[in-house]
Chains A and B, each alone.
Chain A
Amino acid sequence: MISLSKAEKSYIQAGILGDPPHRSDGRDLHDFRTVALETGVAPLSNGSARLTIGRVLRGGGGTEVLAATKLEVEDMKAGGVDGGRIVCSVTCSPAAYPHLSSGALEDLQYDMTMIINQTLSHPSLHPSNLSIVKGQKSWLLNLDLVVLSDAGNVHDALFMAARAALWDTKVPRTRSIEYKAAAANRSAGGMEIDDASGLDTRQQPSMADFELHDFWDEGEPLEGREVWPVSVTLNLISPMHYLDASAQEEAATPLRLLLAFSFSPSGTALQGMRVLGVGELDAKTVKQGIEDGEKYAREIYTALNAKLKDEDVRRNQKASHRFARR
């Protein structure tokens, strides 16, 4: 958190509590800065996205986050989980937090990793197509996020980037193959054994493996990619709250309520909730916050989905364009 003088803090707080409220850059309380998003930025990953909030034109500034997923084959015997698992990690570039020591930076990374990992690897969100060979092999999905610069509201940026990268993730098509030792090998003594015998309890030496289909589009999207959550951070200056705080506004806000919602046809679920900062929060504020937060999150969700579909179209066009030029 950047340092701010008492006068700057009270200027920001008085502006937000004023009537009508005023923010330091003239936005309304519930306006976001411009969010720029691009998927498919890392060619070697299975899905990737780059997201900035509040970057001024071609110039710099703003919060910037990169997200990428990589699928890895995991064996059950080597500690894998049947049906696959998801592991998320967040790394912060030291350039994003030049005022933090390396120890403090690690703490911050750990905090962000915990929030993202606990929300996204929850069983209720688990995609069903991460299994390769049942009981033997499955995909381990690594989601890595890098915070390249932080100009406020980094949590919402992380969740949006994570959602975009997961949306973009393609799981390679596989076909499982089972190898069985030939029956003849086992009946070495020349004795004929009926393979169909139900009494045969000897272990059948078998191997399961898989092969990859060769397709031009690199696979299928993750199952249930609609439900990946979006988060919204309510910055609380009692009794008001506002969205998408800049770094200065964050430093002047004592409490933030982070809510992660997932929307699916069957309904809305609150997937995660954190209170960031010091201070106390009464139950009424939390209740009201969840109600309002759901409304904002739905808007973010709708806008983000539209953008992700645009990105899919853009990349398909680009791919076919390049194909045609060959």
Chain B
Amino acid sequence: MITFTSFPSSPGGEYDAVRRHRETDNDMDVDFDDDDDFSSNRLRLTLPGDYLTSSQAFMRGHGTYVHEDQVVASVAGTVERVNKLITVRAIRTRYNPEVGDLVVGRITEVQPRRWKVDANSRQDAVLMLSSVNLPGGVQRRKLESDELQMRNFFEEGDLLVAEVQAFFSDGAMSLHTRSLKYGKLRNGQLVIIPPILVRRLKSHFITLPCGVDLILGLNGYIWVSRHIKASDQAGEEGFDAEAVYSNQNDDIDEPTRGAIARVTNIIHVLAAHFVPLTDTILLEAYEWSVEQEEANKGLFQEDVAEALVASLHSRS
């Protein structure tokens, strides 16, 4: 029931390990001064403090600063160049929103005519009362009574899926849920992974054949839930406020619960090994873990997790 393990020994963490000065490492090519380096499509990783290029010839962008006529990386990440602009995209960072992105967020505050939403960004996002679908039809005017019962739609802690609509002048994003695909989330659980691991896909609503729906928020919040048939979703005419803003879960049968837990664990394992998520990878990983007939909790063991990631690499 309880097992103890040791911490993995980190290379370089041992004091008595032989350590070489970085300049004596000849196997690393850290010559960024060459202009040709940026024209090649090779992925380049930086550490904070790495010299990238001359500031005379290039402009510094996000994630860099200028020191002694050199552009220096200020974060660990990948170098990107647009014409003469050098930027470093950090590997571990908060979510950088773009208009049209699909995000999953959690309400943190109810304010006059707006909700504040935590979407893993630097600032809380804003969801205006005028950007949500209200009961009684899409074209309905907002009434004062709607303002007074905002908690009936969303209250603190509620999860929702929305789209980034616009930005305010201070950089906070404004969300909208004016589609039947968007709205309050139920019948499942949330998984949080680094936002960089969520790729932009054709559709972020994924249905796995094991009866599990996934919503991959670009902010790294992923909603794993029971599959809802498309025919069950109400049409534009029969907009049912009761169902859309309900807090009640449907009955979820036992195999579905097992599948949701398994998908959740797979996402955790893939995130720990820094594998970007796509629908095909998730599906392959799910099939692999079912094939192994491994008990679900086996995924927590390091060797099982390594085998899963290795099998994904061999297939792709």
Question: In the complex, what distance in Å separates the CA atom of A3 from the CA atom of B118?
Answer: 11
Contact status of A6 and B7, CB under 8 A, knowing A25-B265, A56-B269, A296-B1 = no
With contacts A5-B106, A11-B189, A34-B300 taken as known, whether A26 is within 8 angstroms of B273 at the C-beta atoms is no
Q: B3 in the interface, Cβ–Cβ < 8 Å?
A: yes
Residue in B closest to A6 when the chains form the complex, CB atoms: B247
Q: Which residues from 272 to 326 on chain A have a C-beta closer than 8 Å to any C-beta of chain B? A: 296, 299-300, 303-304, 306-307, 314, 322, 325
Q: Which residues from B are CB-within-8-Å of A56? A: 268-269, 271-272, 300
Q: Check A34 against B6 for contact (C-beta < 8 Å).
A: no
Enumerate chain B residues within 8 angstroms of A8, measured Cβ to Cβ. Answer: 159, 189-190
* Residue B185 is within 8 A (CB to CB) of chain A in the complex: yes
Which listed segment binds A: B38-46, B211-219, B255-263, B280-288? Answer: B255-263
| Shortest Cβ gap from B312 to chain A (Å) | 15
Residue of B6, B187, B188, B272 touching A57 (CB-CB under 8 A): B272
Q: Hey, what's the 0/1 contact readout for A1-33 against B, CB within 8 Å counting as 1?
A: 001111110111011001010111111101111
* A-side contacts of B5, CB under 8 Å: 34-37
Bound complex: CA A207 to CA B124 (Å): 66
Q: Are A35 and B4 in contact (CB under 8 A)?
A: yes
Asked whether A5 and B247 contact (CB < 8 A) given A37-B6, A248-B189, the answer is yes
Indicate whether A11 sits within 8 Å of B187 (C-beta atoms), given known contacts A3-B157, A59-B271.
yes
- The verdict on B158 contacting chain A, using a C-beta distance below 8 Å, is yes
Cross-chain contact of B158 among A5, A18, A23 (Cβ < 8 A):
A5
Is B108 engaged at the interface, CB distance under 8 Å to the other chain?
yes
Q: Which of B3, B108, B252 contacts A35 (CB 8 A)?
A: B3
Contacts A7-B159, A10-B248 hold; do A32 and B2 have CB atoms under 8 A apart?
A: yes
Judged by DSSP, the binding face of B is mixed
Q: Is B305 an interface residue (CB 8 A)?
A: yes
Most buried by B among A3, A5, A248: A5
Contact with A along B149-182 (1 / 0, CB 8 A): 0000000111100000000000000000000000
How far, in Å, is B137 (CB) from chain A's closest CB? 25
Task: Tell me the smallest distance from the CB of A277 to a CB of chain B, in Å.
Answer: 17
Q: Is A77 an interface residue (CB 8 A)?
A: no
Beta-carbon nearest neighbor of B4 in chain A: A307
Query: CA–CA, A26 to B186, complex, Å?
Result: 19
Asked if A36 and B189 make an inter-chain contact with CB atoms under 8 angstroms apart, the answer reads no
Per the bound structure, the CA–CA distance linking A147 and B69 in Å amounts to 43
B183-218 vs A, Cβ < 8 Å mask (1 yes, 0 no): 011111110000000000000000000000000000
Given contacts A36-B5, A57-B302, contact A26 B189 (CB under 8 A): no
Range class of the B interface residue count:
35 or more
Q: Is A50 an interface residue (CB 8 A)?
A: yes
Known A7-B247, A10-B249, A11-B187: A26·B297 in contact at CB below 8 Å: yes
Residue of B whose beta carbon sits closest to that of A31: B1
Q: Decide if A24 touches B7 in the complex (CB within 8 Å).
A: no
Q: Are A27 and B157 in contact (CB under 8 A)?
A: no
Instruction: Determine if A30 and B1 form an interchain contact, defined as CB atoms under 8 angstroms apart.
Output: yes
B residues bordering A, Cβ < 8 Å? 1-8, 16, 106, 108, 156-159, 184-190, 247-249, 252, 254, 257-258, 261-262, 264-265, 268-269, 271-273, 295-297, 299-302, 305
A-B contact pairs, 18 of them (CB 8 A): A5-B159, A5-B186, A7-B185, A7-B186, A7-B249, A8-B189, A10-B247, A10-B249, A26-B258, A26-B295, A27-B297, A31-B2, A31-B297, A34-B300, A56-B271, A56-B300, A61-B268, A303-B3
5 closest residue pairs by CB, A with B: A26-B296, A59-B272, A7-B186, A307-B4, A26-B261
Where the two chains meet, the residues of A that have a C-beta atom closer than 8 Å to any C-beta of B are: 3-8, 10-12, 14-15, 18, 20, 22-28, 30-38, 50, 52, 56-59, 61, 243, 248, 296, 299-300, 303-304, 306-307, 314, 322, 325
